[in-house]
Chain A
Amino acid sequence: MERKAVDLWVGMFVVAGFIALMMLALKVGNFGAYSPKDVYVVTAHFDNIGGLKEQAPVRSSGVVVGRVAGVRFDSKKFDAEVTLTMDGQFKFPTDTTAAILTSGILGENYVGLEAGGEEQFLKNGDVVKLTQSAVVLEKIISQFLYSKAQETPTPPKDK
């Protein structure tokens, strides 16, 4: 097959596009990276989930160990039921505590897990019983003001 100059230029063009795509994929983006094959699903009930969304990370000691698969309102218990998809290689004791935390002051919400001391591990379909709700800033401020108001004012010292 005869070779033309056009072929060389188009080849260079396509290679440049491919290099650009590779740079975007490897240097700029992640491959949606976190999707482990071996997973187990647990649920947890929270009084208040704050701004937790689906796909939010589940972290333990700051390391991502799972994802929030779903958030729904439990109309029997009147609280929020959060479904967590956990990476199968990380096992947690049954008395693990789940808390809804915030990364930084303005950051997004995530679920933080703190391992307990039980010998048994959480299995697929289990419920995390010990939970801690999201911190609502307005509540803290009102509690703070309330406790301040209850303090007996220190009498001004006489000279």
Chain B
Amino acid sequence: MRDGLLDWFRLIGGKTINAVWRIGSGTRFLFLILLYSGLSFRRFGLTMRKIFFSGVLSTIIIVVSGLFVGMVLALQGYETLQVYGSEEKLGVLVALSLLRELGPVVSGLLFASRAGSAITAEIGLMKATEQLSAMDIMAVNPIGRVVAPHFWGGVISMPILATIFSAMGIFGAYLVGVVLIGVDVGAFWSQMQAAVDFRYDIVNSLIKSLVFGIAITAIATYEGFDAAPTAEGVSGATARTVVTSSLAILALDLVLTGFMLRGWN
């Protein structure tokens, strides 16, 4: 009985120490990426290819889900707003919820599962097939040659994807709210324009998505680079990427929203 309890404490302690350890080495890894980033800008073609893989190929899912999220928001928002006879505010509701929250967060979650997992799998498999060690032997730094382009590709793609998501969502809300339900088109746009501030809402939306992009790609590359060089290790790392980066997005969103709504000081 006492041994069982002791084992249990040992397990908890070990897990905690392991988690802190991983946070520490992940931070060191992020600094290494920044340190060896020179190559990904000197040979921008490397980064271009990664933007293609994580950004361009994610566009379809972002466009379609943005459209649908916007349409659902318009339907739900209309149902509630019409009770108070203020369905003209539909544009404001949709635009603010998309720009402030849903745009960056949902596209971040989609990006984590679509591109983050792919990054982890690619780097993990390169490690498992000893391509990274081969680079090391040829005096090519694998972090500079493989990891940093992935990182910068993701960081550049993420704000673009979030912006496309928000724009498509507002377009979807326009389709459902104005074309289908028949909210007045002038009120829809003019109320939206009166309520949405460029610096306060749109720039903050970009900042959020940039931070999420950094977090997702840092976690994805770290998990891939840290994966055990086996088939199981790579699959475990891929799963961990999706879980960890989704949680990181939600936690960071809370912190950033707190700062943005209540000011930075």
Contact = CB atoms under 8 A, between A and B. Distances in A.
- Which applies to chain B's interface (DSSP): helix, strand, loop or mixed? helix
A19 B63 CA distance: 13
Contacts of A28: 95, 99, 170, 192-193, 196, 202
Interface stretch (B22-30, B43-51, B176-184): B43-51
B55 interface: yes
Contacts of B200: 32
B166 to A, nearest CB: 6
Nearest to B59: A13
B45 A4 contact: yes
Interface residues of A, number: 22
B197 A16 contact: no
Interface in A5-26: 6-7, 9-10, 12-14, 16-17, 19-21, 23-25
Contacts of A139: none
Contact of B163 (A6, A24, A27, A29): A24
Contacts of A14: 160
B199 A23 contact: no
B197 to A, nearest CB: 5
Contacts of A6: 45, 48-49, 52
A78 interface: no
Given A17-B159, A20-B164, A32-B199, A27 B55 contact: no
A9 B59 CA distance: 11
A29 B201 contact: yes
B163 A30 contact: no
Contacts of A29: 95, 193, 196-198, 201-202
Contact of B55 (A10, A30, A31): A10
B160 A32 contact: no
A14 to B, nearest CB: 7
B155 to A, nearest CB: 13
A31 B198 contact: yes
Interface in A22-70: 23-25, 27-32
A61 B170 CA distance: 33
B139 interface: no
Given A19-B167, A20-B163, A21-B202, 12 more contacts: A4-B45, A6-B45, A10-B51, A10-B56, A13-B52, A14-B160, A16-B160, A25-B202, A29-B193, A29-B196, A29-B201, A31-B199
